[in-house]
Structure 1
């Protein structure tokens, strides 16, 4: 099998122009009012400034950022080897102009020769070799180091037997070769993740200083430094060498500790964009914002996991009954004003592998659920677990009430903890009942929707699920060509939906609200629930 991606610059420019034309209502530059229809607001000349809600990031180093607050900033400051076309989710050139492989195991990337960091340092194949080795080095304690675990030599570096990944090679100045331990066809998709962004040499000299004012190679360049608990500001980098330069001239991520305050600030015109409206405000949106809102389907998957290491959940009929006893739509309507999509699958709907309505046990059937639960000897008492402070209390209690009513469960208790403590209990297999967790696609792949949380021994497999056939299908799909892999991933998903280590609940719909300055038609949210700020059009007041 040979996979090769080569792109002509003219073809990429054509696609970029189409995107800008759509966003600007007929105007192909970064501002002005040419082509604006009567009654429509004109785009601000130069692109304008947008202010966006954000939470306080944990980190602003690409290899150490594993949460949305930091990653949404890093996506604008850096460009990796490849990027995504967010309309099709196809991989397109970033720093790499083309890439190819004969076996999905050894990958060769040909880099563009005009890429630099914002401090003028040239980006070469060695830049990526140095960055990836630094991220994996255990002395640097980067949280995303495990994303490199399929690169040849990873174990030797982690075990401190060597300082460099054997599978990374700068063949020449602009040719990078990456050898994997086993075939992995979704590798280009994985490379769009923040962990794989390049870093300049001065980052390695003083990473603490670098984190406060990251020097990237992306569409935007940080202005000053990270003002903790206040804001992070970035200006459009006018020397960006890639395609699709940013439209807004400036982005200001305003940091809030209370999302309700951010909602009211957008309403008052003090903030331009809130990317996710809190559940308690959903019924007010039309009255508060009128047409200044947009709702997006996302790949953010919410589920109730079952600890299979506990004896009372090892019978799959108990798991089936718990699932059938939940009226998902009723919970969504009552708690979220209908603003979620009930999950009848595990692979998110925006991916080509998605199969709609294939979960037999996700259909609400309280009578059959009660019979099945009784016959299987389901527990009469449950403790339901969830992380606190994130708005899960109401819907978890609503599900518990349905279990009481439909399954005759006598007592349901609740345990909630801060997220860090919550994950520690999962790591130690100390969860004793159904538990709430979610999963968001860091990159758009059916592999990432399943392998990290259901294959045997994975660190995020908190249910303890283990199935040899499922593991084998994932391994086979990972090595297959894209067309063959679709059916294999679907077969793996069907095993999950039959054995049901988790009860699928819903895919989140994110409702964004914005000020009058934002062109509603230019808003786009990606699979990771990030608004694509680089393409937002600011209009004249």
Structure 2
């Protein structure tokens, strides 16, 4: 699960300009040219990872973009369609959606030269699941039998649920190594889409070297992907180079990739214009207005609808009880003029969200949010008054200041203020790492921006990781037993249509509780220098490093 920072606009446009005129529309992704060659180096926009680079502890895109280049998984997602394709796995077979046999391809090695074996998957998943290891993606192992026995419980310290507690087991009973190239998975309940999930980074294998020193590993991980990490200079850059012994079908053309860490989108964009940066996945709003980026970067830009959604999450009730009433949250949502914000600030490079699931995945249902996601100042004010109004001094909408969020959060607050008559202030936090730390430590009050880049192409991925009770990306601490029950029932369905219907029922419950406010679905826009070619955007909104080359 990746809480995404990839909102592709920043700007020289004030919130006062919310009601000003604007025009333009997005473009489409160009075809790759024939100027490609193998070798060379490229630089791309990067941002500060929240945590050390361990696959099972990376749940955001700053680290995730690096992880995806450095680690291969059992399954690879097609860059164009997100369709699962076998990578390290030779096969993943089941007859009952509860017992799975995984066979590995031969010839795969880690970057330290050691062979990738079945035990490297089993050991990695056991480490992720074991509660005292506190891995943010550990709950991805929850469907596997024995997960509950690896968890901590029964302590009085909410900040350390493992204090004074030792789980019953350090390993998952549902995992078993058969031989060097085969292992089995048994889930507690039927999980029809388990093979689809196994392409997510939490399921990457880990070499024996990881377990010798996990802390050191996080600063210079030993992966299994087409690129290996050479160095990480904190706050500055992350350097990758091609792994000569990569055995897969999804390798890259360039020899080196440098993630240059930027504090704002404008700086990265200006460096692309000056050919000092090769690719940026964020276009500032100053360049979106009237499609200026297309003039600045003729034939060097692309745009694609992706599995990304932007939301505004309400702080947990224990952190900020002033926003506890669902009617108040619904009123705030109805007070946001999404269409005008998208037109004026994003130059129509977003689509107003009508629910919590992206339209790019199977199972999407339109208008789940109903009237609460449609701007109506009069209805919003009436509902706001019915809820008794906001009891605090002002509503805050926090965002990370090192990416393109300032203008739209200011415009959102301006819309809320105009419709409801309540003070609303957009509040910047220095960078993404600090921002996510404050959210994770439950120190962030009011409203705060959240985004989601799908981990795998499934309606379930937009619901369970974010809203299931206790899930690690549940930033608002939402808990609804009826919601959780529907997720369990949906996962057990063997028929895709029946499963999707259950997930849709679960999503409908979010409308009545409003743990977060849907804002818009993503279109990723990228620009690049005249030094590179073949730049493509994946279905996840990331750079397809297998297609990029130096001219």
Q: Distance in 2 between matches of 1:118 and 1:411?
A: 54
1:202 maps to 2:209: yes
Instruction: String of CA shifts for 1:151-196, please: whole Å, max 9, x gaps.
Output: 2333433434333222210022221112223332232232212222
C-alpha separation in 2, matches of 1:493 and 1:245: 37
- Looking at structure 1, the residues matched to 168 and 69 of structure 2 have their Cα atoms a distance apart, in angstroms, of 36
Which residue among 231, 240, 243 is the counterpart of 1:237? 243
- Write out per-residue CA displacement over residues 356-414 of structure 1, whole angstroms, 9 at most, x where no aligned residue: 3443221222233333333443337642231342443433332233233323x244456
Aligned to 2:190: 183
CA RMSD of aligned residues (A): 3.1
- The equivalent of 1:394 in structure 2 is 407
How far apart are 1:338 and its partner, in Å? 2.8
Larger deviation, residues 162-171 vs 57-66: 57-66
Q: Structure 1 residues 51 and 148, CA, compared in 2 at 3 Å: closer, same or farther?
A: same
Q: Which residue of 1 aligns with 2:11?
A: none
- In structure 1, the gaps of 5 or more residues are 1-21, 26-39
CA contact (8 A) 2:231 2:240 kept: no
- The 1:217–1:264 alpha-carbon spacing in structure 2 relative to 1, beyond 3 Å, is same
Would you tell me which structure has more helix in proportion to its own residues?
1
Q: Deviations over 1:28-74 (max 9, x none)?
A: xxxxxxxxxxxx65222x34432222224342232332332222122
**TM-score, scaled to structure 1:** 0.82
Task: Please report how far the alpha carbon of residue 211 of structure 1 lies from its aligned counterpart in structure 2 after TM superposition.
Answer: 3.9
2:28 pairs with 1:62: no
| Offset, 1:244 | 3.3
Where 2:546 maps in the other structure, the secondary structure is helix
1:101-120 aligned at under 5 Å gives the runs 101-120=94-113
Distance 2:426 2:282 in 1: 27
CA offsets 1:130-152 (integer angstroms, 9 cap, x no match)? 22233444565543333223323
- Work out the CA distance in 2 between the residues paired with 1:422 and 1:243: 37
Residues 255-300 of structure 1, C-alpha deviations (whole Å, 9 max, x = no match): 3445433222211112211122233443341332122111222333
Give the counterpart of 1:128 among 121, 132, 147.
121
Aligned match for 2:66, one of 73, 95, 119: 73
Which structure: larger Rg?
1
Q: 1:140 to 1:308 in 2, by over 3 A?
A: closer
Partner of 1:339: 349
Gaps of 5+ in 2: 1-28, 152-165
Indicate conservation of the 8 Å contact 2:486/2:506, yes or no.
yes
Q: 1:454 aligns with which of 467, 479, 504?
A: 467
Contact 2:89–2:105 at 8 Å: present in 1 too?
Answer: yes
Partner of 2:502: 488
Equivalent-residue separation in structure 2 for 1:279 and 1:138 (angstroms): 43
Does residue 302 in structure 1 map to residue 310 in structure 2?
yes
TM-score, normalised via structure 2 length: 0.81
Residue by residue, what CA displacement relative to the aligned partner does 1:396-434 show, whole Å, maximum 9, x if unpaired?
332233233323x24445655556676676567676644
Pairing of 1:311-326 with structure 2 (within 5 A): 313=323, 316-326=326-336
State whether structure 2 residue 458 is matched by structure 1 residue 445: yes
Comparing 448-457 and 152-161, the one that deviates more = 152-161
Taking a change above 3 Å as real, the CA distance of residues 208 and 104 of structure 1, as seen in their structure-2 partners, is same
Choose which of 362, 366, 369 in structure 2 pairs with 1:356: 366
Are residues 1:385 and 2:384 paired? Answer: no
Selected match of 1:525 from 534, 538, 546 = 538
Cα gap change, 1:49 to 1:315, in 2 (>3 Å):
closer
- Point out which structure has higher relative CO (alpha carbons under 8 A, 6+ apart): 2
Output the CA distance in 1 between the equivalents of 2:504 and 2:466: 16
